[in-house]
Amino acid sequence: MRKLLLLCLALVLGFANAAWSADDVVRIGVFLPLTGQNAFGGQLELEGVQMANKETPTVLGKKVELFVVDNKSDKVEAANAVQRLIEKEKVQAIIGTYGSSLAMAGGEVAEKARIPVVATSATNPLVTQGKKYIFRVCFIDPYQGAGAATYAYKNLGLKKAAMLVDVANDYSVGLSKYFERSFTKLGGKMVATLNYQSGDQDFTAQLTKIISEKPDVLFIPSYFAEGAIIMKQAAELGATFKIMGGDAMDNPKITDIGGKAVEGFIHTTFPYDPSMKNMSPMAKKFTDSWKALYPGKEPNVNSALGYDAYMLILDAITRTGKADPESITKALAETKGFVGVTGTTTINATHDAEKPVGIVEIKSGKKTYEGEIVPEL
């Protein structure tokens, strides 16, 4: 009976793989937050994926078709979105998502179904931890947090830090932990850590307490909307300390929301920005193509990550010569020196992308790419 069951399973898997290879369409799913709290970032990433698909619409002589589902910035919806892509759309690989908590929820479903996922900007280490089928094109929070701490302590000479943390958000909690660990290891002192919850609009009580502790720098591992409000209220309270944040602050809307209060704000980012000097040929091609496709709209690193995620999957398919999920997974795990918009990427043993940490500062109301930092871990 056991041998019969194994034979049946082998036949089913064999027929499934034959169906994948015989199909004249490569089906790639995309699950991103197109509505809800994280919608702006999700829409940017989708535009990058769509631009990549428009530029490179085929692989192995087959048409690449995108199947897009809105995860609505919600963990349950993220899991449902991935389930739909797998069961209804029969995708061979998935791109997404903006938001680590959403990536973890959707990733669990994909992992059980053995469908490879390439996360875009989900930086929490738990996204890929212990997973065979989950990958990412971004660095992880321990590396990013150490990059912010190293830049604050060594490059800016800031010795005392405070933090304002969204305790309801996995990204915020994780990044704050890694910033604190690296900052204190370097010799810095944490003078205050205050909390808030996603959706809060009034931060005056926390900021008043932080100001009284006289830090040199306030680290806010926030999403851009709340981060901009925090900076605006800090300025209104007369704060004079430096404010820094993470990659989720890399959004052109922060100047619209925060106004003059965001001047001088520094945040870590992935190594791409249209203001960067000595742009790589790949980054320049992306920037020029973006401006032609979306005139009047500046390219953004989230769009670049969406573009890179799509191209990484196509690169894996090209290298393996097959478009079935198992072959794509194996090729993704073997990725070395992939040249993308956000730098040269190697997928390491934990399925995370190894690439530099970029630094951006708001100057005269505009993002200015300051360069890369090598974190001291």
- Find out whether 229 and 258 touch, Cβ atoms under 8 Å: yes
230 and 327 together in one domain: no
Q: Tell me, yes or no, whether 364 lies in a domain.
A: no
Q: Tell me, yes or no, whether 274 lies in a domain.
A: no
255 and 319 together in one domain: no
134 and 146 together in one domain: no
257 and 331 together in one domain: no
- Find out whether 21 and 323 touch, Cβ atoms under 8 Å: yes
123 and 156 together in one domain: no
Q: What angle do CA 46, 51, 56 make, to 5 degrees?
A: 125
Number of domains in the chain: 2
324 and 195 together in one domain: no
312 and 349 together in one domain: yes
132 and 193 together in one domain: no
Cα 246 from Cα 250, distance rounded (Å) = 8
Give the pLDDT of the chain (377 residues) as one tens digit per residue.
444 444 444 444 443 443 444 468 999 999 999 999 899 899 999 999 999 999 999 999 999 999 999 999 999 999 999 999 999 999 999 999 999 999 999 999 999 999 999 999 999 999 999 999 999 999 999 999 999 999 999 999 999 999 999 999 888 999 999 999 999 999 999 999 999 998 899 999 999 999 999 999 999 999 888 999 999 999 999 999 999 999 989 887 888 889 999 999 999 999 999 989 889 999 999 999 999 999 988 898 999 999 999 999 999 999 999 999 999 999 999 999 999 999 999 999 999 998 889 999 999 998 899 999 888 87
Of 221, 247, 269, which residue sits at a domain end? 269
- Residue numbers of the domain that contains 245: 142-269
* CATH code, domain carrying 293: 3.40.50.2300
Please give the model's pTM, rounded to 2 decimal places: 0.83
